[in-house]
Amino acid sequence: MTRRMPRKKANASLRLPVSPAERLPILEARREAKMTSSAHAYVRGSTGLFYEWLAGQRGRSLPDAPTVWIGGDCHVGNLGPIATAEGGMSIELRDLDQTVLGSPAHDVVRLALSLAMAVRASNLPGVVTLRTMESLARGYERVLEAKVADQPIDLGTPPLQVLKILRASARRSRKQLFAERLGQTSIQIGRRFWPLTDEERAAVEGFVHQESMRELMTLLSERPDDAEAKLLDAAYWVKGCSSLGKWRAAALVRIGSGKNPVVALLDLKEAHAPLAPRGGNVRLPRHHGQRVVTGARALSPSFGARMVAGDILGVPVFAREILPQDSKFELESLGEEEAVAAGEYLAAVVARAHARQLSAADAAAWLAEFRKKPAPMTEVPAWLWSSVVELVSVHEGAYLEQCRMHGRQHIVLATQKDPDVVRGRVTGD
């Protein structure tokens, strides 16, 4: 019998949601309420609305592009620093639930919309949005140009907010990671974590003890290849925005034995069918967890190498160990020059993920399509500018409707006496 790590005792009079049926209405209500916090937050959580627009007439006016693995939900928060197995750090796409073989133009438009909404949230004038879109186009084109010329790809100088995140990530310790993600060194049932059913916990334990998972957890260069892994604790993880309502768990695992074992934090996440459309005649892995892992290894090799796909109670999942350097970009209160710099830098990150899958000839053809016909009085491609203008309008209106429907929503359940569970802010990826 696996010994569980000690937990803070909860009030015995409170009953936390345990079964999937009990969790679902709370999670759905949280997701809807969280999307009212800002227009930018709404964009991040409304992937479905973006692809509804894409399926319409305007979405079909995007340029022809080669079929590559794309992120599928390429907003600002889904990019950031990722630790490598060798102990370094890379800037990559880091949330790939929606990844498919599709058009890179979809990632470009999604990123452009996210940046445009971030600029608006910073109360900057509309001309800054225009400058940011110009810098985004310049950053994306610059990477394709390097690919065509067979030159090294340079992401350029990170803007100040990005640079701060990179420096903080590089310095973060495992102790700080646990403090940020768990609040303590053990899983505390309450706001962020809910109990698993006995069946779920047993399934998590079986999954964690598979050889593929042991190999994943000993991938880091400083860990012995033959180290054993033992599950210490696990809980349902209330996390994210678009993923709220999907099965997700955190697991603490001890790796190795003796005087200096390492405790690892694992993220086990349901892999669901993507909203992003795939390219015409391509075939994707049928297992959605394997689709996510395959796409990650194409787009973000450092990230994909640290992922494993499988099943838990018949649900396709993918798993990774969260490392201290793993972080994400949160661009808030942008200044004008910082917004412009962010556009070029983040577009270069996305372009590099696409370009590493292209030959020089395909990159040249895509570059020619990308920059065809700039919008009048600007250097932004006409297709990109018109897409952003229309999408900002669509999402601003939808955001106000979201506020009308859910902005005053109060979750009323048997757990209402516990403010951490009912009204606590959901944080994390």
Give residue 77's pLDDT band: very low, low, confident or very high (50, 70, 90): confident
Task: Give 68 or 162, the one with higher predicted confidence.
Answer: 68
Give residue 426's pLDDT band: very low, low, confident or very high (50, 70, 90): very low
Q: What is the pLDDT of residue 111?
A: 96
User: 150-164, pLDDT tens digit by residue?
Assistant: 999 988 888 888 888
Q: Angle formed by the axes of helices 160-171 and 336-355, to 10°?
A: 60
pLDDT at residue 268 greater than cutoff 90? yes
What number of H helices and E strands is found in the chain? 15, 10
Q: What is the pLDDT of residue 244?
A: 67
Q: What is the pLDDT of residue 11?
A: 45
Give residue 15's pLDDT band: very low, low, confident or very high (50, 70, 90): low
Give residue 243's pLDDT band: very low, low, confident or very high (50, 70, 90): low
Q: Using the 8-state DSSP alphabet, how is residue 424 labeled? A: P
H-helix or E-strand containing 68?
A: strand 68-70
Task: Give 332 or 224, the one with higher predicted confidence.
Answer: 224
Name residue 93's amino acid.
L
pLDDT average, residue stretch 109-119? 94
Q: Which residues, in sequence order, are bridge partners of residue 92? A: 80
pTM metric for this prediction = 0.88
Kindly report which listed range (67-76, 179-188, 238-247) carries the lowest average pLDDT score.
238-247
Kindly report which listed range (77-91, 213-227, 247-261, 293-307) carries the lowest average pLDDT score.
213-227
Q: What is the C-alpha end-to-end distance of the chain, expressed in Å?
A: 32
pLDDT at residue 10 greater than cutoff 50? no
Q: What is the pLDDT of residue 412?
A: 40
pLDDT average, residue stretch 129-142? 96
Distance CA 271, CA 289 (A): 5
392 phi and psi angles, rounded to 5 deg = -60, -45
Q: What is the pLDDT of residue 37?
A: 83
Most confident of 158-172, 213-227, 353-367, 389-403: 353-367
Confirm if 259 and 303 have CB atoms less than 8 A apart. Answer: no
User: 319-345, pLDDT tens digit by residue?
Assistant: 999 999 998 887 767 888 989 999 999
Phi-psi group of 155: left, alpha or beta (phi > 0 → left; psi -120 to 50 → alpha; rest → beta):
alpha
211-214 long-range Cβ contacts below 8 angstroms, 24+ apart: 212/308, 212/310, 213/308, 213/310, 213/319
Query: How far is CA 191 from each of CA 61, 86, 264, 359, 415, rounded to the nearest angstrom?
Result: 45, 34, 21, 48, 11
pLDDT at residue 417 greater than cutoff 60? no
Q: What is the pLDDT of residue 308?
A: 95
Q: Using the 8-state DSSP alphabet, how is residue 345 labeled? A: H
**Averaged pLDDT score across all residues of the chain:** 86
Distance CA 415, CA 403 (A): 24
Q: What is the pLDDT of residue 65?
A: 94
Q: Quick check: helix, strand or coil at residue 241? A: coil
Q: Using the 8-state DSSP alphabet, how is residue 429 labeled? A: -
Smallest CA-to-CA distance from 63 within 287, 385, 389, 419 is with: 385
318 phi and psi angles, rounded to 5 deg = -135, 150
pLDDT average, residue stretch 270-295? 93
